[in-house]
Amino acid sequence: MEGNLWIAFGLTLFAGLATGIGSLLAFFTSRTNTKFLSASLGFSAGVMIYVSLVEIFVKAKDALTYELGNTPGYWATIAGFFGGMLLIAVIDRFIPSTGNPHEVKSVEDIGKGPTNDEYARLKKMGVFTALAIAIHNFPEGIATFTSALQDPTLGVAIAIAVAIHNIPEGIAVSVPMYFATGDRKQAFKLSFLSGLAEPAGAVIAFLILMPFLNGIMFGIIFAAVAGIMVFISVDELLPAAQKFDEAHLSIYGMIAGMAVMAISLVLVS
């Protein structure tokens, strides 16, 4: 497991830096490619849902039933799964709606010619959104890191899915800040820093969780990771994909994500 340490850190850093990619894209486009955005978000949701329910939950159950026995282990898996959902729901609940990254906006929505009175509000919104995304990225960083530490192939799939959904989050941070200040560097820096919460989550996981990462702890963490990823998919990715949906592209993208994840798991097994 320790041999995968740098791979796990690298994948978590990659996922976090995708927020900065979204920031850069926002500076060089005046219109959102709604078809691509809808299909991509759907694809990311498909990957997350499939890998969470088919792979991660099963790994968690296997680990916990081995350590605790069939019935207690299964109950522990269920508790960890819904505990992860509860954790991310509580985090989401305490984020102000003006800065909630679940409120995914298009470039056009955020950048409709603000008046002078709106500049201060836009700047505040950019800061709040960056803070909100940083809080959300933290458990995602733990999820990516611990998954890659146990199984690098699984970690790659999770990192790619997380990276895809981090791109519109970068747009949500950088565009209001750019329109408020006119400073691309400042907007990019704020977006970039919000994405670094993911590798920060990996560092915390390494420093705090690693000494306790036995079979039971691993099973509970994996069950919680599955719950977190399913919640993010149904609460964030699919609603956002539906917002920009054209001709059911979000559903096609979700099915494609599930299919790609299923095939990749078979090929590397």
Binding residues: 137, 140, 165-166, 169, 198
DSSP assigned state of 263: H
| Rounded-to-5 percentages of helix, strand, coil across the chain | 85, 0, 15
Q: Where are the beta strands (DSSP E) in the chain?
A: none
Q: How far, CA to CA in Å, does 125 sit from each of 7, 32, 168, 183, 213?
A: 35, 20, 15, 15, 39
* Binding region for Zn(2+): 140, 165, 169
Alpha-carbon distance of 96 to 106, in angstroms, equals: 19
DSSP assigned state of 84: H
φ and ψ at residue 112, rounded to 5 degrees: -80, 95
Instruction: Confirm if 202 and 144 have CB atoms less than 8 A apart.
Output: yes
Alpha-carbon distance of 136 to 93, in angstroms, equals: 11
Instruction: Confirm if 132 and 99 have CB atoms less than 8 A apart.
Output: yes
Q: How far is CA 72 from the centre of its chain?
A: 30
Instruction: Confirm if 261 and 46 have CB atoms less than 8 A apart.
Output: yes
Alpha-carbon distance of 95 to 132, in angstroms, equals: 6
* Binding region for Fe(2+): 137, 140, 166, 169, 198
Alpha-carbon distance of 115 to 108, in angstroms, equals: 15
Alpha-carbon distance of 228 to 103, in angstroms, equals: 18
